[in-house]
Amino acid sequence: MKRRFSALLLALVLICSLSVIPADAAPPANTATILFTHDLHSHFLPQPTEDGGESGGYARLKTAIDREREKNPDALLLDGGDFSIGSLIQTLYTTQAAELRTMGALGYDATTIGNHEFDHTGTGFAEMLNAAKEAQAASINVLASSQYPPPMEDYREQYGPLTVALPALLEANYRPADSNPDKDMIQKAMDHYGVQETMLLERGGVTYGIFGLMGVDADECAPTSGFVREDAVQAAKRCVASLKEQGAQLIICLSHSGTGEKLETSEDEELAKAVDGIDVILSGHTHSTLTEPLVVNDTYIVSAGPYCENLGSLTLIWGGNDKKRLRDYHLVPIDETLAEDPDTAAMVETWKTKVGETYLSRYDLTYDQVLTITDFDLNTPVSGIQEGNNLGELVADAFLWATENLEVNAPDVNTVSVTADGVLRAPLRTGELTATQAFDVLSMGVGADGTSGFPLVAVYLSGKELKAAAEVDASVTPIMPAAQLYMGGMAYSFNTNRMFFNRVTSAGLYDWSDADGASTATELKDDQLYRVVTGMYSAQMLGTVKSKSMGLLSLEPKLADGSPVTDFNDCILYDKDGNEIKEWYALAAYLESFGKDGIPERYTSARGDGRKTVSHSWNPAQLLRNWNWITWVVVLVVFAVILLVVLLVRLAFRRVRRRKSQKRK
């Protein structure tokens, strides 16, 4: 009897499971997968890593994208900006738009604008947009041609690879300023490309609302953009309201703002906190790598790291009006374990050929040309750590070498060279060093000639101002790591425990006494002018020292006659053929000068060769000597405050005693 009842119950369960779901049953959950990158910085090709492996490369990225889409065919592919500037292929930015066109081939749905998209100024950004659309239109015409095979040769000679798809470009709070004389031209290019604040995208039964934002710090890092920034919170609230009204189920912000250790400097956390309704913030600019999403106000903030190191994947699930819940989050390393997608690899090779034809030929270099070798790594500086650095000092020495060996009609005067932490973009790893690796180190900017790479410039500073530059390194670096300086032709010492802007204890010119080290040659004379060679960007920053030091230090770049520099283009260094001497080319030529012998042993130490000596001692002999007026003023103020406190305390005691004596009477 029990067996019959069990069988009957099982049959009823099976029948119910096969019956139609009633109308009032709960609907199936929505699922959304977002694949993402940010801060790609033109890293089309893999880069060597410290452990001997490789990282990045778009052909391997495409393989990772395809694998993730095999698991989630409806996944979105998005980017958080700064897709340009960081390798030799960026030299095609204004003419070929290689970055956007390759992203289209990789299958990107949308990206936003980063500060480095304006390294060629606002007009360069516009030229890039026009180049992308022109190549796309030409591709469509070729493919629609009645000829077979299509007339590809002429197309490839002018445009390179075929381009049919381009990613949407979203920007809600950044637009050409009314005062920008090129405003109409730039806006026309943005309209031609189809740059818009928001977009709706339906895929896999989910309606996505996506918009893009530019952050405060990112805007400040684009001083030549000619754009103005609207408050991000205000723009985000407008976009969220508009997208919800249009039926968006999941709202994504492509934010080139970033996250940080402190909430007050973590712009995207502040954005999520201030604006309701953003489900996901893809956070670029600060090069953060988040192994787990940050969750603020029900908003998931994600970052995959810079330079195509990882492909991020976020999957959210929700049902009805439920809030979104995390189903999966992971980062896929883009490394040597991934095979290269052959079509993407061929596209990258085409770009390399274009670079050789249009940019490198003027330097008699080829893309992968080996310049020299190194038996040790030369690393970019560790942020916030004040010490020497072998890569920084190598670059500074390369600038000096360029004045002696490349510059036409260089004056025979005492010269000091300067470079900064913030412009050193990539290390040099053990092994063969190529032209493209030299470019990667100093890939920022554009010259007066309109081509990629900041040029070297020469200005004049007094000995007193050179000491002030050393003070900038000693005092400003802890709060602004990118300001850390490395010099050639000058040695100095400072103690980090001395008073701000009075930390330098010695400074002087030096030259190499022999292959093993350097020796101080002469002390700096306060009133004498010295020639200073640096990159265009660093030279422009010299004039901001006064404001950043609250007027306590002053550096005024001058011409040889002592008059102030009014246009740094007048200070650019040229070679015998009339070409600007680019920062990166100075480094490449210096490396090539070492030949088969390789980089000298004096650059072996990661902490430099001793030309910058950093002390953390509390030895009174170091702390009490060579005080300047800043220290004396601070000491006198402190002494006055202490004296005032003592007087007030004594006065208070006297009053207490008087009251007590009066009570006794």
The string of DSSP letters for 14-44 reads: HHHHHSPPPTTSPPPPEEEEEEEE---TT--
Minimum mean pLDDT range among 73-82, 140-149, 198-207, 576-585 = 140-149
Query: Across residues 256-268, what is the average pLDDT?
Result: 87
Locate 530 and state its tokens.
């010295």
Minimum mean pLDDT range among 153-162, 368-377, 397-406, 585-594 = 153-162
Residue 342 lies in a domain: no
Locate 254 and state its tokens.
């492509």
What is the tens place of the pLDDT at every residue in 498-519?
888 888 998 999 875 444 554 5
Residue 505 lies in a domain: yes
pLDDT of residue 542 exceeding 90, the answer is: no
Contact assessment for residue 79 and residue 439, using Cβ atoms and an 8 Å cutoff: no
Minimum mean pLDDT range among 131-145, 214-228, 629-643 = 629-643
Nearest to 94 by CA among 127, 136, 65, 63: 127
What is the tens place of the pLDDT at every residue in 524-537?
899 999 999 999 98
Cα 509 to the center of its chain, rounded Å: 33
Residue 264 lies in a domain: yes
Eight-class DSSP state of 574: B
What pLDDT sits at residue 295? Answer: 97
pLDDT of residue 399 exceeding 50, the answer is: yes
Query: Across residues 216-234, what is the average pLDDT?
Result: 95
Residue 362 lies in a domain: no
> What residue ranges in 215-308 does DSSP mark as E strands?
227-229, 250-256, 280-283, 294-296, 299-302
> Are both 501 and 580 inside the same structural domain?
yes
Eight-class DSSP state of 422: G
Contact assessment for residue 168 and residue 102, using Cβ atoms and an 8 Å cutoff: no
Stated pTM of the model: 0.84
Average pLDDT of the chain is 89
What pLDDT sits at residue 550? Answer: 61
> Are both 600 and 646 inside the same structural domain?
no
What is the tens place of the pLDDT at every residue in 133-173?
999 999 988 888 777 677 777 787 888 888 889 999 999 99
Nearest to 351 by CA among 554, 95, 40: 95
Region of 606 (left: φ > 0; alpha: ψ -120 to 50; beta: rest) is: alpha
> Are both 578 and 639 inside the same structural domain?
no
Q: What percent of the chain has pLDDT over 70?
A: 92
> Are both 613 and 636 inside the same structural domain?
no
> Are both 174 and 312 inside the same structural domain?
yes
Nearest to 293 by CA among 279, 306, 307: 279
Q: How far apart are CA 252 and CA 172, in angstroms?
A: 13
Tally the residues of the chain: 665
Residue 496's alpha-carbon distances to 143, 289, 336, in angstroms, are 65, 31, 42
Residue 357 lies in a domain: no
Contact assessment for residue 147 and residue 167, using Cβ atoms and an 8 Å cutoff: no
> Are both 415 and 472 inside the same structural domain?
yes
Nearest to 590 by CA among 488, 484, 518: 488
What is the tens place of the pLDDT at every residue in 16-49?
343 333 434 444 579 999 999 999 999 999 999 9
Phi, psi of 250 (to 5 degrees): -135, 120
> Are both 268 and 395 inside the same structural domain?
no
> Are both 279 and 222 inside the same structural domain?
yes
Look-up of token digits 């390759």: 102
What pLDDT sits at residue 3? Answer: 43
Q: How far apart are CA 431 and CA 368, in angstroms?
A: 13
CATH of the domain at 446: 3.90.780.10
Going by their DSSP bridges, the two strands 370-374 and 431-434 should be labelled as antiparallel
Q: How far apart are CA 563 and CA 125, in angstroms?
A: 34
> Are both 169 and 240 inside the same structural domain?
yes
> Are both 271 and 169 inside the same structural domain?
yes
521 pLDDT band (50/70/90 cuts)? low
Residue 190 lies in a domain: yes
> What residue ranges in 394-437 does DSSP mark as E strands?
415-420, 431-434
pLDDT of residue 10 exceeding 70, the answer is: no
What pLDDT sits at residue 7? Answer: 43
Residue 207 lies in a domain: yes
Q: What angle do CA 265, 444, 470 make, to 5 degrees?
A: 70
Q: How far apart are CA 463 and CA 466, in angstroms?
A: 5
pLDDT of residue 418 exceeding 70, the answer is: yes
Q: How far apart are CA 211 and CA 197, in angstroms?
A: 6
pLDDT of residue 582 exceeding 50, the answer is: yes
> Are both 125 and 266 inside the same structural domain?
yes
The string of DSSP letters for 434-493 reads: EHHHHHHHT---B-TTSSBSPBEEEEEEEHHHHHHHHHHHHHHTTT-GGG-EEEESEEEE
Contact assessment for residue 54 and residue 335, using Cβ atoms and an 8 Å cutoff: yes
pLDDT of residue 218 exceeding 80, the answer is: yes
In total, how many domains does the chain have?
3
Q: What angle do CA 471, 472, 477 make, to 5 degrees?
A: 120
Q: How far apart are CA 608 and CA 592, in angstroms?
A: 21
281 pLDDT band (50/70/90 cuts)? very high
Query: Across residues 359-372, what is the average pLDDT?
Result: 95
545 pLDDT band (50/70/90 cuts)? low
Nearest to 405 by CA among 591, 639, 204, 608: 591
Return the higher-pLDDT residue of 250 and 649.
Answer: 250
Residue 350 lies in a domain: no
Contact assessment for residue 334 and residue 310, using Cβ atoms and an 8 Å cutoff: yes
What pLDDT sits at residue 320? Answer: 75
72 pLDDT band (50/70/90 cuts)? very high
> Are both 393 and 487 inside the same structural domain?
yes
381-386 long-range contacts, Cβ below 8 Å, gap at least 24?
A: 381/421, 381/424, 381/481, 381/484, 383/421, 383/481, 384/477, 384/478, 384/481, 386/473, 386/474, 386/477, 386/478, 386/484, 386/496, 386/614
pLDDT of residue 302 exceeding 50, the answer is: yes
Contact assessment for residue 309 and residue 289, using Cβ atoms and an 8 Å cutoff: yes
CATH of the domain at 69: 3.60.21.10
Show which of 333, 350, 376 is a domain's final residue: 333
What pLDDT sits at residue 438? Answer: 97
What pLDDT sits at residue 2? Answer: 39
Question: Can you give the residue range of the structural domain that contains 647?
Answer: 627-652
pLDDT of residue 306 exceeding 80, the answer is: yes
